[in-house]
Structure 1
Amino acid sequence: MANPVDLSKPEFEQVIERLDKELHNLRSGRANASMVEDLPVEAYNSTMALKSIASISSPDAKTIQIEAWDNNLVKDIEKAIISSNIGLNPNTAGTIIRLVMPPLTEENRKNMVKIVHQKAEQARIGVRKVRESVRESVAGDFEASRISEDEKFRLHDQLDKLVSDYNKKIETMADDKEKDVMTI
């Protein structure tokens, strides 16, 4: 029989990956292509991610450069950036759109830290949900006499250690992002 704790690791990893992506998309004062790569753009009569219709780069710490692969999409990309409320204004020259990152104010930095803590808490809730699911699975196996009581306690201990490790990982990620946001 497969160990339910081992089977849950991919679910825990999904929580961590989601947090990593969300934290990566938060503005920290440094230009990062991932901030805009998933912006929805109306192109070719459908909605597409920006990264699928343009190349995105960060030539320096304060600039994101977007080069549309099709001249006809430049206006659509500008419109998507403006309507996204990410606080950046496009500066267009031909097929190249530049987004210059304005410096974050102290108030903006503190708000960003609050958002970081909210995202970390959402991830901890995700970890708890996975833990509860595994605990229910173990309890069901015990009730059906598929595992012994000793095995149940061993699995609970193994699960608690795994949850603790993932919570530490979440805390480290949140602390790193907080330092990044607060660094001027």
Structure 2
Amino acid sequence: MSRKSSTKTRTRTAPKLATTKPTPAVLPVRPARPDFLAEAQTAAYHAALLANLPQRRIQDWAPTPGGGAHLLLSSGTRLQHLPGTDIPFTVLTPCAQGATHTTPISTRAHLDHAAQAAAHCTDLHGRPRTLTLHQAATTNADTQTLDTTALRNKAADDQPKEHPEP
């Protein structure tokens, strides 16, 4: 028995294409501050609580690569915590002269004293000094006059020296 093949040919129809693209799935966004706490943050918060230092949320203490944590206060002062040291906190206080004072602290009184010292700082920290007109007039009045005629005569009398032979 043989089967007859069908002589009909099938026509293919083109699939219908969508006119609009489907919207992609929304990917999750990583939060700017992670929800987990590092051990350094908890240790810094607890040590600051015991030392009666300014309190913020535990999440405000940012962990540092050395195993510590730091907290930025509203005055621009940065409080650093390094566990396992004799003086657990270091405060970095900006002064009016543009420098940053680094002071080891262990209590609230030390923090207040460091802030006052930076506020009353008059040291130029290596910058050139700019004089006011009053200071310049006072400095000019205190300057002694120098008689340069003796120096000029000595310079005229000097003879050039010969180079020694090797």
What TM-score, normalized to structure 1? 0.20
Larger radius of gyration: 2
The structure carrying a bigger helix percent of its residues is 1
